[in-house]
Structures are given as C-alpha cells and as structure tokens.
Structure 1
Amino acid sequence: MVKETIYQHFRAEESTTVTELGTLIAQAQTEYRPILTHFLNPRERFIAETLVHEDNRVKLAAEGLVPNAERQRMLFYPDYYEPVLADFELALLEVKYPVKFATLKHSQILGALMNSGIKREVIGDIITDGSRWQLIADQQFSRFLQTQIENVGRIKVRLSELEPSAVVIPLDEWQEEQVSVSSLRIDVLVAAVYHLSRNRAKELLNNKLIHLNWMLLDKPDHEIAVYDVVSVRGFGRFKLEEIRGLSKKEKIRVVVAVLKK
C-alpha cells in the first residue's frame, strides 16, 4: 500500500497512477516475484522510481528496446532476481510498405494503431531510421496487430515481427534548448518554446489542442514538472528535462527537449 503522505508529492490527477504503481510494487514485495507494468511515459517512470525509493525491498528495471526510449515497460522485482530482456515481453514490429512510392509519418502510424481499438499503454516507441519504420509493442498484442493493421492512411502496409536485435538505430530528432520563463505554467512554457504569445497559447488550450503526458489539458495555470511531456497539435512535442534555477533577471532557466512536427 502507498503511504498517504506520498500523494502530496504528486498532482491530484496523478493519484490513480500512484496507486496503481504502488499496488504493483507491493505485489512484487508480498509475492516475492517480478511484476511487469505496461508502457510508461517519462513522468510515470519518475513516479515509479520515487515509490521504489520509498521501499528498498523492491528493485526496478526499465526497457524500451532502444536507447533512451520515451516509452518503456518497468519491472519491479525482489533482490534475488536478475532481469533479462525476455522479462519485458516486448515485440519488435516492422511496418512493411512501398518505400519508393509512399511516405509515412509517426502520427499516421499511431493513428492506425489507435483505430484498431487497442490502448496506448500497449505500444512503446514508434521509430524510424529515415526509411524503415518500426514499433515496439506488448508481446501479447503482436499477433493481433499483425492481423488488424493493413493500412496507414491510404497506404497499404503489413506488420512483420522481427528479433529484438534487428531494431533500427532511430534518428534523434529531439533538440535540446534552454529557455527562460517567468513561471512553469503550461501556457508560459508553450509560448516560450514555440515563440508564441501567451494569448495564442491559451487559445490552443481552449481549443483542446494541448496534451500533458498524453492527457487532454485545458487549464492555462497548470504547472509543468520535470519529465512532463507536452504535446501541441500542429507544433510537436517537448519535455521538461531540467530546472536550472533563476537567472540574474529572476527568470526560471529550464532545459527542454523539443520534437518538431
């Protein structure tokens, strides 16, 4: 069980995540065996790491198949256990399509996957080396996806499962930037990262075009925390990686990684 005092360290809307992860950690401890999560985003993994730090009887490991994967599965396990790759139950699927005649985008592939009826939590990263596209998925859903995904938009495709060692080296499209802001409010950060006015940022929020950690957000005064991922439709995504303190002008200096649309 999660101690009540732990909840105060997280947002109210994260309480469900805290409870769910705390339950899995307790299960690993009481049943003395490894327990696997679904794919977690960076903020969820930060919560998991914080909870494990509170209970040193359980260890954790994370795996997303590619270095620095944004979405990873976590394994909570007792001291005696030594995790191996197979424990994470990951499937590597390659998107076969007519490379010479068609171009795919991350958003198109994700859209096709979501339209199949599965939940986002069973899909890890969608990656490309510039021509080949691959995705990492929960092993239990590999066969389902191979039979259900036949088109991405108007492009005919086929999913083929490969050995994990066949994963491509993904293009690193994240660009690290330092910005100075007056506060960590989401409208302030969106405006700073994309060089917009505050009014334009609030407009995007009001039009339901901004997601925080894959959840719709419409509160301009919501404060961003380290490891949060913000998605802005039409612009791309960014994640808050570090808060570096105040500048001489009393501005908050932050480091963000930006993924352009």
Structure 2
Amino acid sequence: MNDNLKQHFRDSEAPFIEQVTGWLRQVADQYRPILTAFLNPRQVYIAQTLANNQLDDVRMRAYGGFEGAELQRILFYPPYYEPEAADFQITLFNIVYPVKFATLKHGQILGTLANAGVERDVFGDIITDGEHWQFVCESEMADYFNDQIDRFGKTKVHLTAVAGSEVIAREDDWEPVTTTVSSLRADSIIKAAFNLSRHHAKELIEGGKVRLNWAELPKADYELALLDMLSVNHYGRVRLAEISGETKKARLRITLNIIHSK
C-alpha cells in the first residue's frame, strides 16, 4: 500500500487492512467472489478505499439486508460476476413477543445475541419502529439463533425468518448536524454532539460508558477518523460523517450524524 493511502488509516487498522488486501488478492487470483462477515461503516470505507486503489480488476458491493443498513457484508467479485441480493446470504428475523405486556430494548437484544456464543460480526443491524423489532444475521447462522434464542431479558420470544421486503420502517433515523470543533478528539466530538462539557465527556470515556465502532474506546484524546461511530451510554450515538476543512479561526468544520437516546 502506498504512503498516500497509509495516511488515511491508523496503525491499529493495519490487521484489517491486511485482511482486505488478502481478500482482494484472492478474488484476483482465483477469479471468484468472496463474502465477508458484517462490517461497520469505518471498515466498509477502508475496504472501498483499498478496492478503488488496487490494480487488479476486483469490484466490491456492500449490503446489510435492507436499504441504509449500518452494518454490511461486503462482496468482492471479479468483473464478469453480476451480484444479486441473495449472494449476501442475509436472513431477516422478526422478533415475535407479547407486545401488549412487554417492552424490548436495543441493549437487551444486542446483549443476548452477542452472548449467544457467536462473534459480533455474524449479525448485523437491530431495528425497531417503536413496537416491532427485527435483526439480520448471516444465513448460515439463522438455525443457530433460532435454536438458541427464546427470550430477551425476561421476555419470552420466538424468531420468525421473513422476506427482506418485510423490513420495518425504522424510527432511528440519523439527524445531521454541522458544527465546528477544536480537534477530532473523542471528547471534543461527544461535547459537540450532546452539548456536554469537555470534562463530563472525558469522565464518560474514562468510566467505560463510550464505545468506538462497537469496541472499547482507548482514551479521551483518541482521534476520530471519517465514519467512526461513538455509542455513549444514556446519550445516544454519533458518527463523524464529513470533515469539510478549517475555519479562519483554525477550527475544523464537520458534519455529525446523531441519534439521541430516548
């Protein structure tokens, strides 16, 4: 990878970059498609950047089971191949539960799925319209989830696989906010997104209340990069959607996508 490309990425992203490079080489050498697990938006961005800059003619498409999905599987494929939705091998589950007597929460569902003895990347988005809940997973894991999951928290449930066309209209649409920050430090971004003091943002991070791209956030002064997402307990989620340059006062002009916790 050339130095110009390297500057887009962090040292900590090197193992993933190596993995993507391996997939691209495999498709070019074996002339067949390769499908990944579910990747976050930052990983999809890295993969797209690498796919655009490699010499062999390998194409890439990302899909998460429905339009606008946050977590997506990537299909790398040779030029002769025409990808279809079925190639992404994604199953959409309805979570059937007694709606009148129980309430489900995103954290309950995520926690149960993540603790079902599987890697986090075998299932994708968990979505709701405020009452009904659905999630997507790799089709090869659908039977496993069906067998393993019979409750979320104390609520008894059963899972029903449905056609992708039956995806519910989500209520958690991102709200874009354009603002300026002194830096791309995690505490600066949290301060700007949720109108908090820098001190409180730092406390949340040091108290383990913030996650970066579904993983632990190392420290408050960690620099964010394009399409990084922070989940902040009790406040919501914020994604760095765009970096538009500097103001005359040397502040960074950015666009954040924000979902506030209910």
TMscore range, shorter length: over 0.9
**Whole-Å Cα distance in 2 between the matches of residues 188 and 116 of structure 1?**
35
**Whole-Å Cα distance in 2 between the matches of residues 66 and 258 of structure 1?**
20
Q: What pairs with 1:92-131 in structure 2 (closer than 5 Å)?
A: 92-131=92-131
Give the letter aligned to residue 252 of structure 1: L
**Whole-Å Cα distance in 2 between the matches of residues 87 and 7 of structure 1?**
31
Q: What pairs with 1:66-77 in structure 2 (closer than 5 Å)?
A: 66-77=66-77
Q: Is 1:20 matched up with 2:13?
A: no
Partner of residue 46, structure 2? 47
Deviation per CA, 1:32-64: give whole Å up to 9, x if none: 000001101100000000110112510001111
**Whole-Å Cα distance in 2 between the matches of residues 244 and 174 of structure 1?**
19
**Whole-Å Cα distance in 2 between the matches of residues 112 and 260 of structure 1?**
23
**Whole-Å Cα distance in 2 between the matches of residues 66 and 105 of structure 1?**
21
**Whole-Å Cα distance in 2 between the matches of residues 254 and 156 of structure 1?**
43
Q: What pairs with 1:96-245 in structure 2 (closer than 5 Å)?
A: 96-245=96-245
With normalisation by structure 1, the TM-score equals 0.95
RMSD over aligned CA atoms reads 1.4
**Whole-Å Cα distance in 1 between the matches of residues 24 and 233 of structure 2?**
35
| Greater displacement, 33-42 / 234-243 | 234-243
Structure 1 residue 245, shift from structure 2 partner:
2.1
Structure 1 residue 202, shift from structure 2 partner:
1.4
**Whole-Å Cα distance in 2 between the matches of residues 111 and 172 of structure 1?**
19
**Whole-Å Cα distance in 2 between the matches of residues 256 and 69 of structure 1?**
18
Secondary structure, counterpart of 1:75 in structure 2: strand
Whether the 8 Å CA contact 1:210–1:218 is kept in 2: the answer is: no
Secondary structure, counterpart of 2:220 in structure 1: coil
Structure 1 residue 251, shift from structure 2 partner:
2.0
Give the letter aligned to residue 81 of structure 2: Y
Secondary structure, counterpart of 1:13 in structure 2: helix
Give the letter aligned to residue 55 of structure 1: Q
Whether the 8 Å CA contact 2:172–2:259 is kept in 1: the answer is: no
**Whole-Å Cα distance in 2 between the matches of residues 76 and 31 of structure 1?**
12
**Whole-Å Cα distance in 2 between the matches of residues 55 and 180 of structure 1?**
34
Structure 1 residue 4, shift from structure 2 partner:
6.2
Partner of residue 257, structure 1? 257
Unaligned residue ranges in structure 2 (runs of 5+): none
Secondary structure, counterpart of 1:9 in structure 2: coil
Task: Among all aligned residue pairs of Structure 1 and Structure 2, give the percentage whose two residues are the same amino acid.
Answer: 43
Structure 1 residue 194, shift from structure 2 partner:
1.4
Give the letter aligned to residue 8 of structure 2: H
Structure 1 residue 181, shift from structure 2 partner:
0.8
Structure 1 residue 169, shift from structure 2 partner:
2.2
Give the letter aligned to residue 37 of structure 1: T
**Whole-Å Cα distance in 2 between the matches of residues 172 and 129 of structure 1?**
8
How many positions carry a matched residue from both structures?
259
Structure 1 residue 207, shift from structure 2 partner:
1.3
Structure 1 residue 216, shift from structure 2 partner:
0.7
Unaligned residue ranges in structure 1 (runs of 5+): none
Secondary structure, counterpart of 1:22 in structure 2: helix
Whether the 8 Å CA contact 1:93–1:135 is kept in 2: the answer is: yes
Whether the 8 Å CA contact 2:65–2:91 is kept in 1: the answer is: no
Structure 1 residue 83, shift from structure 2 partner:
0.2
**Whole-Å Cα distance in 2 between the matches of residues 244 and 53 of structure 1?**
22
**Whole-Å Cα distance in 1 between the matches of residues 172 and 236 of structure 2?**
15
Deviation per CA, 1:1-32: give whole Å up to 9, x if none: xx364444310111111111111111111110
**Whole-Å Cα distance in 2 between the matches of residues 24 and 233 of structure 1?**
35
